[in-house]
A and B are shown apart, each in its own frame.
Chain A
């Protein structure tokens, strides 16, 4: 009986290497081998975890409360005394939300479409740009990079009115492009910075070796630099996608008035009725809306972490 949970624990400890390690691990009792610098006393652990818990609570409290609200029936929401745990809690809101706003799925699709298109545009622009900024010393390089940082300091909100005039001039108002173009534009600077830093860690000798062997700049970019920069590009793609998803609200609110193009964040307003707000369905809809991104992040987070921390190349 006792040996079975032991092996399970070992498997958790070494998820990557299995069969080869198992016999050795079985012989010795499991003892986490840590470097001296990573060893802490119990009260240090307690303090560390208490700190993490406090931080997580602040970050997650709105989500928890939102989730609780989504489980409660509407009539119970404003009952006093307030109860955190839902009485008569159920998932009903997750079903009724589709009936009260029948076009809700469309908003989710719109959101994904706008974010994906913006991400693709950003990547197409940023990959060659980051390579150029990382490799070529051209006049105005520093000034341009500085300008990109400066653009990052303005949020889109500050520039809404000029952007609105620009959109009207170009006839982009009330189209998908009204949300995609400014979204991509504001995400390009930080993406260039991120990818440029990554590409600068790729040794210049690789470019030189390819150049000596007769490869053109574009050939080198395609065959040598891009494959090596893939983790960095993945990070840029993920952060851009999240950024695009998050910033749709302001552009959609201002530049688009067509219901069928609305992204999720605006679509949620449909739950604001004339008389009352259907809070529980609104919360349920919010969770359904972020679910696709959440799932995406769960799958891609290892690339995110690996790309942000790993050294670019070991030659």
Chain B
């Protein structure tokens, strides 16, 4: 049974249509990540679930109750803000205790809950400090502590790691995942960082301009993107796209003319793509050096050596960028033509509307 469901939820600010009809089911204990480029409406959607933004139309149901008109506190949610929103004049203890003070709980109960949260978050020695004296990661933990003490059904996180430096971010990512395991509560997490989405999520919701582009597990999105947007958004470096035209589609094989690169035959059942202009997608990490199913020659302009990987950037005859990612440190100098290949079963095909063709 789903704990949170969104039913054709829409949001407009005056004329601007921000959220254009979203349907989503979230089950209890799931870690759901909303991901998308900036301006796609992911934060607005989260704020609507939180009760900070009004719903223009549609329904938000939490635990079987329509909560459209309820204030946040009655929705059983707690939220962690991007800037942490800690109260600078209060100690860490009072910051964490704030929701309990609002509820006017007896001091003994406040003590019990705050110290329990502090233990989970390793803040026990910091309780009497002010937020201003804490590091970014500690402030983040205080903000999470303030969310935990209310014992909400659903945690909402609005880009909580974006203010941290890279090293701390991956550390906090792991802490958050451990926290999710320990508490077992539903978490909805907004980020523009697809690495965060891929590593943390049980379920990723990719948003594009106010609509859901695709919902699925990280690996589903990676292996079977529904459309060009998801294919380009998930994965780093980005998937390579090559324009082509389908010359024949007989129900088992589609033959795509890639212009100067030659033709490629892909196993596809669709017949309707025949004659359409299409886009062929291949992930940089699926390229191999040397000959294979489909071989092409590129000349890297730029080569990045990361030790574990080597990334090459080249231009195709059609003008598209073409990125290759190879394991280890192969001998691929800049400016020297390079033979690379990929397997047919790792190629993605998108029709002229940008939808995946299977």
- B-contacting residues of A (Cβ < 8 Å)? 203, 205-206, 208-215, 219, 223-224, 227-228, 313-315
What chain A residues lie within 8 Å of B83 (beta carbons)? 203, 205, 315
Determine whether B36 belongs to the interface, using a CB cutoff of 8 Å to chain A.
no
Q: A213-B73, A214-B102, A315-B83 are in contact. List 16 more A-B contacts (CB 8 A).
A: A205-B81, A205-B82, A205-B83, A206-B85, A208-B52, A209-B79, A211-B52, A212-B51, A212-B52, A212-B73, A213-B98, A213-B102, A214-B72, A214-B99, A215-B102, A228-B87
A97 to chain B, nearest CB (A): 46
Number of A-B contacts (CB under 8 A): 62
Question: Which one of B52, B85, B89, B132 contacts A203 once the chains associate, using CB atoms below 8 Å?
Answer: B85
Q: Give chain A residues whose Cβ lies under 8 Å from the Cβ of B52.
A: 208, 211-212
Chain A residues within 8 Å of B102, by CB: 210, 213-215, 219
Q: How far is the CA of A223 from the CA of B78 in the complex (A)?
A: 19
CB closest residue in chain B, given A216: B102
Residues of B close to A314: CB separation below 8 A: 88, 132
State whether B88 touches A315 (Cβ < 8 A). yes
B354 at the interface (CB under 8 A from A): no
A213 near B86 with CB under 8 A, answer no
CB contacts (< 8 Å) of B86 on chain A: these are 315
> Which chain A residues lie closer than 8 Å to B77 at the CB level?
212
Q: Is B71 an interface residue (CB 8 A)?
A: yes
> Which residue of chain A has the shortest Cβ distance to B52 in the bound complex?
A208
Q: Smallest CB–CB gap between A202 and chain B, Å? A: 10
A211 B85 Cβ-Cβ under 8 A: no
B146 at the interface (CB under 8 A from A): yes
In the complex, the 5 A-B pairs of residues with the closest C-beta atoms, listed nearest first: A214-B73, A209-B85, A213-B99, A205-B85, A212-B72
Taking CB atoms, residues of chain B closer than 8 Å to A209 are 79, 81, 85, 146
Minimum CB–CB distance from B149 to chain A (whole Å) comes to: 9
* Contacts A203-B83, A219-B102, A315-B131 given; does A211 touch B72 at CB 8 Å: yes
Within 8 A of A (CB), among B150-174: 150
User: Would you list which residues of chain B between 97 and 127 have a CB under 8 Å from chain A?
Assistant: 98-99, 101-103
The answer on a CB contact under 8 Å between A213 and B146 is: yes
Tell whether B189 is near chain A: CB-to-CB under 8 Å: no
CB <8 Å contact, A206 and B73: no
A219 to B87, alpha carbons, bound, how many Å? 14
